[in-house]
Amino acid sequence: MKDFNFELKEVKHLARLARLKLSPSEEEQFLKDLNEILKYISKIQEVDTEKIEPLTYFESQKNVFREDEERKIDYDRKLLLANAPFYDHHMGHFKVHRVFRK
């Protein structure tokens, strides 16, 4: 990536694709930021990685699954339900606020 720089027309095109409305000062700031990112990338590309093995998986621990099992816990039902403001004691279920409206 040799001396590639974004131009203002490309920033405007990217903003349009992303459906962003940018002010002229924001466009200038994005232009500056994108060109700084490109400079950083070109520095990274200068690093000699010829003798370095590719890294495909860096996490040594694997996902540990456990069986789902029922556990009995000691709790005070009234104390737990006191934290549920919309519990219907007669029906035995929780009420929640409506999410969708017609």
Is 79 domain-assigned?
no
pLDDT in tens, 11-62: 999 999 999 999 999 999 999 999 999 999 999 988 998 998 887 776 777 7
Confirm whether 3 is domain-assigned.
no
Give the count of domains, the chain. 1
Domain-embedded: residue 25: yes
Q: Is residue 20 part of a domain?
A: yes
Q: Residue 47, CB half-sphere, CA atoms under 13 Å: how many?
A: 8
Dump pLDDT digits (tens) for 67-77: 888 888 888 87
Dist CA 84 CA 73 (whole Å): 19
Distance (Å, whole) CA 99 – CA 51: 58
Containing domain of residue 21, as a range?
A: 8-45
**Residue 75, token pair as written in the block:** 């709790």
Q: What is the CATH number of the domain that holds 41?
A: 1.10.20
